[in-house]
Amino acid sequence: MKFVLVLILIALASSIVNIHVGEGPVSMVFHKYLFVANYNSNSVSVINVSDNKVIKTIYVGKNPTSLLYANGNLYVVDSMSSQINVISINSLFHSVNQAYK
């Protein structure tokens, strides 16, 4: 079952864009890219907002619920594994899907 993140873009004319992400998107944060926590997929989708495409999927612990961007890092709270993943945004695109624990 695929879930869809719906973004409402307001410009000269309003339009709705559907972006397919992981299952159970529950939260998102923006910093250069849009990061979406996917609760049921145990992942974070990375979206390039210039073309609204998912460009990377980062697998994290069980049931990510909250995201925070600070000091060049993305912090991902995993509700079922009682951990916080710290993902370096600067090295994100220089390595394979990786979460630091």
Look at residue 69 and give its three-state secondary structure. Answer: strand
* Residues 64/78, Cβ–Cβ less than 8 Å: yes
User: What is the predicted pLDDT for the residue at 85?
Assistant: 92
pLDDT (tens digit per residue) in 14-43: 567 889 999 999 999 999 899 999 999 999
User: Average pLDDT of the chain?
Assistant: 83
- Candidates 24, 32, 38; CA nearest to 78 is 38
Q: Is the pLDDT of residue 100 over 80?
A: no
What is the pTM assigned to this prediction? 0.78
CA 35 to chain centre: 3
pLDDT (tens digit per residue) in 72-96: 999 999 988 888 999 998 877 664 4
Q: Which domains does the chain have, with CATH numbers?
A: 3-92 (2.40.10.480)
List residues bridging with 101 in a β-sheet.
none
